[in-house]
Every structure is written in structure tokens, then in C-alpha cells.
Amino acid sequence: MISSVSFHPFISHFPPALFVAGLTLLFLAHKKNDDKLKAAGAFNLSLGLFAAVVADFSGMVSVDINLRTVVDVEGHQGYAFLFTLLYGFSAGYAYTNTFSRTAVGFYMTGVLAMGTCLYSGYQLVFH
């Protein structure tokens, strides 16, 4: 660790939670045809994207590569970057073309990337 207190564990829980909450609100907006729910879902995705970027940078700063193998750390960083990239596309589509096939594809791919990122982070902490 660079410092005795790392910011990464505090911020890294927000992106997945806001992603799931945003997608849930978008699903409810589509089901109920409610523009307010659609706006709330897009706003959640925007906040989550900001938190994902902060989590990415704080993770890069707080890692001590000597305690873990390079493959493990860089694997998690790669999944985190992929998730953040898909997060950005999902947030963009939530504002522009919310319920298109492409948008739904980015949402579902984002869920898969989130799962792999969370699992690799879990492996780094608990194994």
C-alpha cells in the first residue's frame, strides 16, 4: 500500500450498487412508461460512472504489487477498466437512446463485466 489508509475500499462499493439501481430504475421506467424514473436511472448511472472512475484511480494508487502476483492485480484492473468503459456507454445511452437494442446490449454486457470485476476483487481481498 502507498499509505496506511486506502480510499479504494470505501469508494469501490458505489459503482456496482449504482449500476444495479440505475438499471432497475430504467427497467421500471420502461415497464411503467415513466419519464421521471428514466431520468432517475440515467442520473444513477452518471453518479456511478463518476464513482467508477474514482475507484479505478484510487485502486491504481493503492495497490502494492509485491503482495500479489502481477497477473491477479492486472487482471482485476483490466476488468475494472472494461466495466468503467461499458459504464460510460451505458450512461450515454441512458440519456440518448435508452431502450434500443444496442443500449440493452451495453447494459447486459456491463452486468457481466461487473460480475467478473467483483469476483476478481473478491479474490484479491480474501484469497
pLDDT band at 7; cut points 50, 70, 90: confident
Q: Is the pLDDT of residue 43 over 50?
A: yes
In a domain, 2, yes or no: no
Stretch 30-52: mean pLDDT = 97
d(CA 127, CA 122): 8
In a domain, 3, yes or no: no
Which SS3 state, helix, strand or coil, does residue 54 take? Answer: helix
The predicted structure's pLDDT at residue 64: 66
pLDDT band at 1; cut points 50, 70, 90: very low
CB atoms within 10 A of CB 8: 18
Q: Is the pLDDT of residue 6 over 80?
A: no
In a domain, 40, yes or no: yes
> How many domains does the chain contain in total?
1
Q: Which domain holds residue 82?
A: 8-126
1 or 94: which carries more pLDDT confidence? 94
Please, what's the b/e burial string for 49-73 (b: 16 or more CB within 10 A of its CB; e: otherwise)?
A: bbbbebbbebbeeebeeeeeeeeeb
47 or 59: which carries more pLDDT confidence? 47
In a domain, 1, yes or no: no
The least confident of 14-28, 31-45, 54-68, 90-104 is: 54-68
In a domain, 82, yes or no: yes
d(CA 95, CA 29): 13
In a domain, 51, yes or no: yes
Taken in order 72, 74, 80, 83, is the CA torsion positive or negative? negative
The predicted structure's pLDDT at residue 66: 63
Query: Are 104 and 65 contacting, i.e. CB atoms less than 8 angstroms apart?
Result: no
